[in-house]
Amino acid sequence: MRWNVLARLGLAVLLLFPTALLADTVQGRIMEISRLANTIQIRVPDQDPVVIRFDANTRFVEADGIEDLAGNDLVEVEYTPGRPATQIRKVVFGLPPGIEIDVREVLAILTGDEPYTLVDTRPRGPFLSGTIPSSMNSFTRVDEADFIATLPEDKDRLLVFYCGGSTCPYTGEAVEMAQNAGYTNIKGYQGGIPDWRRTQLPLHADPNWVADRLNPGHVIIDTRNPVDSALGHLPGAVAMPAANFEVLTERFIREDREAMLPRVSDRRAPIILYSDQHHSDDVLIAFRELSSWGYGRVAILRDGFEGWQAAGLPVEHDQIAYAIDYQRQLLPGEISPEEFAATDLTRDDLIVLDVRSDQEIADGVIAGAIHIPLEKVEDSLDRLDKSKEILAVCATGIRAEMVYRVLNAAGYNVRFLNEHIEVAEDGSVRVL
C-alpha cells in the first residue's frame, strides 16, 4: 500500500512538472551564434554539437546578454529539449586580485623598456597557428615541474600569461603554478586571443607550421607588390597587394554589401598573410582589413618571406596565381557547392528547406522550397516528410548547419549547404 502511494505520488509529480524532469544541462564551447534566429550551436565533448534556442525569458549569467558571448566561449546551458534555454551561464575563470591586465596594458609592456616573458599557455597546435607576437609557448596541462622549467630563472622578471580568453582555464593555472614556484612579478591577460583579435591586432603563425599546410585547404596571400611576388613566393600563394584590400573595403561600404574575400565565403578559413617581414606595412594593412571583414583565423607569417628564405623553406619562382583556389573540407552532412548547383531542387523526393528569416525571403523565395525560419523548425516537424531527403539552406550556411543538427538528431535524412547564397526574384539560387 505504501509503495502504491509513493508510486502515485511519483506519477503526480511527473504530471505536474513534466518539463522540469526532462530538463537538461550541457556545457561546451560556442561554435556559432545566430542572432537572427536566437539560436546557438555548442560543441559538447564526446557527443554531437547541440543546437539550442534562446528568447526574452532566457537568463544570462556572467554575461549581459547574447551580445556578451562569442565563438569558442565556454557556456553552461539549462534547457528542455525542443524549448528555449532557461539559463545560459558564461563559465568564467577568474584571476587573483592585482593580476589581471587588459589589452592596453599588454601593449604597453610589449612596447616598453622592462624585460618581460610573454607566455601563451594554450596547447602547441593553436599556438603555432596564431599567437601574440614575441610569445613563447608553455602548456599548463603537463607536470608542474616541466611547466616551471620553461620559465626564466629570474624570479623577479615580469611574466605575462594568456590563453583563449576568460572562459579558458590555462591562464589561471599558469599564474597559480608560477606563484607557487616563487615568481613575484606576474600578470594575466585574461582577455587572451579573442580580445586580441577583437582589437584587430596581428597574430603570428609559425613558418614550419605554415610549410606543412601549403595546400588548397589554406589560403596563402602574398601582400607585396606583384613584381616582388613574381620573383619568388611561397608555393601555392596568391598575389594580392595590400591596396587591393582597401579598395575592396571601400567598394563594400559604397555598395552596402557584405565584405568577403573573393572565392572565400567561409569565415573559418585559415588565412596566412606574408610580406618581406612580419611588420611590413602592407601585411599589417591586409590583416586589419580581413579582420574587419569577419574572418576569424587570419595570421601573419612570422619573420616574413625573408625569414622563410633564410630558414631554407620552399620557394617558387614561376608565375604566381592571382585568383584564390580555396578548397574547404566538407563537414559531416554538408553538400558541396558543385553538387548543389547540379541538383534538381524541384525533385519529388527532395525537400529544400529554407531557414532564413521572414524579412530575408521578402527579397526572393527559393522556387519550390519550404520556408520555416530556424527558430520555428522544432515546432514544425509535422511539415517535413521523413521519407524524403531534406536539403537545408540559409543566407550564409550557419543556420543551415544548425538545422541539420536538429533534424539529424530527430532521424531525418538531411544535408545542408554551407555557403553564402543569393536568391533571385525568379526563385533561382546562386552560390556566391
Instruction: Dump the DSSP string for 61-129.
Output: ESSSSGGG--TT-EEEEEE-TTS--SEEEE------TTTB--HHHHHHHHHSSS-EEEEE-S-HHHHHH
pLDDT band of 432, cuts 50, 70, 90:
confident
Q: Distance between CA atoms of 114 and 83, rounded to whole angstroms? A: 54
Q: Distance between CA atoms of 252 and 167, rounded to whole angstroms? A: 34
| Residue 365, pLDDT score | 85
Q: Of 394, 400, 417, 421, which one is the catalytic site residue?
A: 394
pTM comes to 0.86
CB neighbours (10 Å) of residue 255? 8
Q: Distance between CA atoms of 226 and 241, rounded to whole angstroms? A: 7
Please, what's the b/e burial string for 140-158 (b: 16 or more CB within 10 A of its CB; e: otherwise)?
Answer: beeeeeebeeebeeeeebb
Would you say residue 7 has pLDDT above 50?
Answer: no
1-10, 284-293, 376-385: segment of lowest average pLDDT: 1-10
| Residue 91, pLDDT score | 96
Q: Distance between CA atoms of 161 and 203, rounded to whole angstroms? A: 16
Tell me the pLDDT tens digit for each residue of 211-238: 999 999 999 999 999 999 999 999 999 9
Which pairing describes strands 116-120 and 158-162: parallel, antiparallel, or unpaired? parallel
Tell me the pLDDT tens digit for each residue of 379-431: 999 999 999 999 999 999 999 999 999 999 999 999 999 999 999 888 899 99
Q: Distance between CA atoms of 377 and 182, rounded to whole angstroms? A: 56
C-alpha cell at 2: 505504501
CB 89 within 8 A of CB 75: yes
Would you say residue 19 has pLDDT above 60?
Answer: no
The C-alpha torsion from 239 through 243 and 249 to 254, rounded to 10°, is: -120
| Residue 353, pLDDT score | 97
| Residue 362, pLDDT score | 87
Tell me the pLDDT tens digit for each residue of 302-324: 999 999 999 999 999 988 999 99
Phi and psi angles of residue 251, each rounded to the nearest 5 degrees, phi first: -65, -45
Q: Is 394 a catalytic residue?
A: yes
Residues 6+ away with beta carbon under 8 Å from 140: 121, 147, 170, 173, 174, 177
C-alpha cell at 65: 546578454
C-alpha cell at 106: 599588454
Question: For 10, left (φ over 0), alpha (ψ -120 to 50), or beta?
Answer: alpha
- What's the sign of the alpha-carbon dihedral 183, 189, 192, 196? negative
DSSP bridge partners of 28: 75
Q: Which residue has the higher pLDDT, 210 or 258?
A: 210
Tell me the pLDDT tens digit for each residue of 130-181: 999 999 999 999 899 999 999 999 999 999 999 999 999 999 999 999 999 9
- % the chain with pLDDT above 70: 95
CB 223 within 8 A of CB 275: yes
Question: By C-alpha distance, which of 246, 321, 318, 323 is closest to 282?
Answer: 246
pLDDT band of 284, cuts 50, 70, 90:
very high
CB neighbours (10 Å) of residue 121? 27
Residues 6+ away with beta carbon under 8 Å from 196: 103, 106, 132, 203
| Residue 6, pLDDT score | 35
| Residue 21, pLDDT score | 46
Q: Distance between CA atoms of 172 and 427, rounded to whole angstroms? A: 53
CB 80 within 8 A of CB 22: yes
CB 59 within 8 A of CB 86: yes
pLDDT band of 22, cuts 50, 70, 90:
low
| Residue 425, pLDDT score | 85
Tell me the pLDDT tens digit for each residue of 89-129: 999 999 999 999 999 999 999 999 999 999 999 999 999 99
